[in-house]
Chain A
Amino acid sequence: MLELFRFPGGVKPVSHKEASAAAPITRAPLPKLLVVPFRQSATGAATIQVVAGEKVLKGQIIGVAEGAFGSAVHAPTSGLVRAIESRMLPHPSGLAAPCAVIEADGEERWVELSPLDPFDSDPEIVRAKIKDAGIVGLGGAAFPSHVKAKTVIDTLIINGAECEPWITCDDRLMRERADEIVSGAIILGRLMAAKRIFFGVEDNKPAAAAALHAAVGGMPPPSPQPLSREGRGAFHADAQTIQVISVPTLYPAGGEKQLIRVLTGIEIPYGKLGPDFGVQCFNVGTAHAVARAVQHGEPLISRIVTLAGNFARAGNFDVLIGTPIDALLALGAPLPDTDRVVMGGPMMGFTLHDTAVPVVKASNCLLAMSPALFPPPKPAMPCIRCGACTRACPVVLQPHELYWYARAKNFGKTQEYHLFDCIECGCCAYVCPSRIPLVDYYRFAKSEIRAREREKLAADLARERYEFRQFREEREKAEKAVRLAAKAAETKAKLAREEAAKVGAGETAIAGEPGNTETALAGEPGNTETASVAPVNDKLALIAAAQARAAAKKAAVAPQNTAELTPDQQAQVAEAEARRALIDAPKDSA
């Protein structure tokens, strides 16, 4: 017998499972209109593959998985795509997203299905099959299964704990379709090269555990030739490697990390996943869907949904994805005092704002609420630090401290007290004698912290952009200054060179060509005047200097003007320059 472990805390609410667990699963009638959201997984959407007016067959792919974390979507029945439009989803915040509105033709004509022999196919092909079948976690988290099945692990855990009160869809599924669940588990085990498979079933479901036991015992060997030819994919189903284990009924034993703890003793902290510790966990419904997809080629287009609570006919229904919840609720005949409907269980489910939304892959239970069945809580009292919450917390947090800091909006402290380790199971609020809606405070703190982190990221980005602009402007300024300095230096050097040249040229001109001198003098009388004022007027001197620089520059930029002068002209120029040099001389000394 396997040694079981305890997880900390936990609560034991009344299970209320009898009413809905009594009757076998019933196939829900085909609705006229189905609304199939293209976003069915927790992590990604599907790329739309159909247009309005197109005819589709049952099981036809209408959306292919987008990216690595997307998940495929299929037509749940044959019919006509009436529209592709944004519709409200069953989501706590009432999100709308693109959906295919399909009008059923009632013929239920399937696409051609292509089953695989799971024990004679390459694991990659099997995994692709799971991806194409649009399989996501059916326990409620809706994480794409092909992504989870990519890891190599020691222990595969199939979660049949179903710890939330009222919900019985997994219980009925285990009782009625245990063979396929075990097949699916073996397929998954093989994909992940698991050494053993544990089925964890809470001990309040002995019939389900017995059915799984029988299925495991009666399982034929997975393949005539065990698949040991490659290292991976070698999985032998036998009594030692597959075990059905009854775990103590204690909410939240069905939480992934809690069940892993109970069955293996491993504690997986926040931020880590099962495969980091050689464990992976799938819901029994997911294992069933995997078997259907691989062995029969059927994509995931239906699931079992529990109708529980304030119904005249509570029970479990096999429902096509996309069935309007309104239509489904009518099957259970809700009692007249029903005031709202919760999707999921009473501990972690959320109230549907509108029951016109469709059933999605994550819809495990619809709980009809009435004031008589679920009395509204009395007013909250102050926290008396009684510690009931700390004893109930399965993560060993200090819920009263977290509450205190969340209420004070001291979000830094909430993180120091490991707010994000909180799994929002609701145990603390369930036991609180002051009836404080503790989980609401944690959700509030988490969303505030996430919003602030987003803001901080945005602000950081803006600051980085601003700082880069500043830097760029500074850099351009500096480059310009360098350019100017270089130019100035060049000019100075040129001037010096020219001066040296003038001294030589002037002497020649005066000596050899006296006539030219006259012309030159007559030609530039203004210069002479300016020069005569220069010594006394600094400003004029500066202007003159500027003019000289400008001339020099001109000479530098456009040397071609003087390049092809006759020797006579050159001599004239040189003479003029020499005169100017003489004029400039007093200014330079001044």
Chain B
Amino acid sequence: MTSSPHILQPASVQRVMLKVLVALTPGIAAYVWFFGAAILVQLALASVTALAAEALILRLRHKPVLLFVTDGSALVTAWLVALTFPPIAPWWLTVCGVLTAIVVAKHLYGGLGQNPFNPAMVAFCTMIVAFPQLMSQWPHVEFHSFSVQFNAIFGGLFGLQRQLDAIVMATPLDALRTVLRDPEQVATIAGILGEHATFGNIGGRGWEWVAAGYLVGGLWLIQQRIITWHIPVAFIATLAIVATAFNMINPQHFASAHFHLFTGGAMLGAFFIATDPVSGATTPLGKLIFAAGAALIMLIIRNFGAYPDGMAFAILLMNLLVPLIDMHTQPRVFGHKSPPRGGKEP
């Protein structure tokens, strides 16, 4: 390089992505502890698929394969796909999800840095619309024999029937939704939480610890300056405030803030998905709006929608608004009186 600056901070995309992977490990550890090793199989499966698809597409696009395959971005996408899909989903569902994320959502839009939508969330939405039943089979918190889980994942492959009955359990959000909307039952939140084995002390049994793991990893990402506080804080605050408001209006029908925070994809979304820089807002105020919007849409889907969790749809809907949000939330430039609106001085 012959022009200034002649020195660069030792930073790289690879290092950013690697730190995100490291930050996911506490959550993954809790996941394995409570729900068995199936998730590790899925993570490996997703990783291999993602790297292979990435390499193939890069080759087809005449891009430097090694440089981009080793940047770590495909691994982050793969891990997020695996962590949002049920760990006992059949192998091909994960593979299809990862291919959707890498090939369609990422490379058809131009590859690293160019995708307007979060690839993992595109994969999740595509698959939950295409295979709603398979995407709703979640492992039981107490019965998670690895061989049975392995059979669930690869059952079809070896000509075996997938044996699911013993190991499947509804997620807390699903259980809540099903019972609350059943006209036969007159249920209250308190009643459901007391009766069902799926619910723990804060969120869902086991799930609350996975969420806590994501929280720890996410805080570490903030400390490492990989992400800023804006998106997680706005996401969690909005979710907490709106959920509390619903809960106060009708405590029998709407779950509390801490339940919403520690169940489903809330923590993973707040620290790892909504914070995806490529598809998210970039200005400080824009990040707050983006995250608050995502949390609000997610809660509306959870409380009133057809799907038990609304994280993926909420993120994609907000992704659509990112250019508009960024344009209208430009910060005040040094020495200027007012911020540029839509890039223009008023």
Contacts and interface: CB of A to CB of B under 8 A. Distances in A.
A340 B226 CA distance: 34
Contact of B6 (A342, A378, A387, A434): A342
Given A381-B71, A384-B16, A13 B3 contact: no
A132 B323 CA distance: 56
Contacts of A172: none
B122 to A, nearest CB: 17
A347 B5 contact: yes
A301 B77 CA distance: 62
A379 B7 contact: no
B113 interface: yes
Contacts of A434: 12-13, 113
B272 to A, nearest CB: 14
What's the dominant secondary structure at chain A's contact region?
Answer: loop
A573 interface: no
A267 B335 contact: yes
A7 B282 contact: no
Interface in B88-116: 111-114
B335 A268 contact: yes
Interface residues of B, number: 41
A11 B71 CA distance: 24
Contacts of A401: 282, 326
Contacts of B226: 386
A564 interface: no
A433 B1 contact: no
Interface stretch (A185-193, A436-444, A490-498): A436-444
A5 interface: no
Interface string A344-378: 10111111000000000000000101000010111
B324 to A, nearest CB: 14
Determine which residue in B1, B4, B280, B335 has the highest number of CB atoms from chain A within 10 A of its CB, and name it. Answer: B4
Contacts of A387: 228, 277, 282
A327 B310 CA distance: 70
Interface string A171-184: 00000000000000
Contacts of A350: 3-4
B4 A426 contact: yes
Given A378-B12, A382-B111, A388-B11, A396 B334 contact: yes
Interface residues of A, number: 64
Interface in A217-267: 257, 261, 267
Interface in A394-431: 394-398, 400-401, 413, 416-418, 421, 424, 426, 429-431
A437 B16 contact: no
Nearest to A383: B113
B62 interface: no
A340 B343 CA distance: 40
B330 A384 contact: no
Given A13-B9, A379-B64, A439 B334 contact: no
A341 to B, nearest CB: 11
Contact of B334 (A381, A395, A443): A395
A158 interface: no
A382 B106 CA distance: 13
A8 B343 CA distance: 20
A92 B6 CA distance: 14
Contacts of B228: 387, 391
Nearest to B332: A396
B120 to A, nearest CB: 15
A366 to B, nearest CB: 13
Given A268-B335, A382-B111, A400-B282, A433 B13 contact: yes
Interface in B1-23: 1-9, 11-13, 15-16
B277 A346 contact: no
Contacts of A430: 5, 7-9
A337 to B, nearest CB: 16
Given A267-B334, A385-B277, A347 B12 contact: no
Contacts of B114: 382
A443 B5 contact: no
A440 B335 contact: no
B3 A440 contact: yes
Nearest to B111: A382
A165 interface: yes
Determine which residue in A11, A270, A385 has the highest number of CB atoms from chain B within 10 A of its CB, and name it. Answer: A385
Given A382-B112, A384-B16, A385-B277, A257 B6 contact: no
Interface string B277-301: 1101011000000000000000000
Contacts of B336: 269, 418, 421
A432 B4 contact: no
21 contacts: A348-B5, A349-B4, A349-B6, A350-B3, A369-B6, A378-B12, A379-B64, A381-B71, A382-B111, A383-B113, A385-B277, A385-B282, A390-B282, A398-B331, A416-B344, A421-B336, A432-B11, A433-B12, A433-B15, A434-B13, A439-B4
Given A342-B6, A381-B112, 17 more contacts: A165-B7, A261-B334, A346-B5, A346-B6, A347-B4, A347-B7, A350-B3, A382-B111, A382-B112, A395-B334, A398-B282, A401-B282, A413-B343, A426-B5, A431-B9, A433-B11, A433-B12
A-B pairs with the 4 shortest C-beta distances?
A269-B335, A426-B5, A382-B113, A416-B343
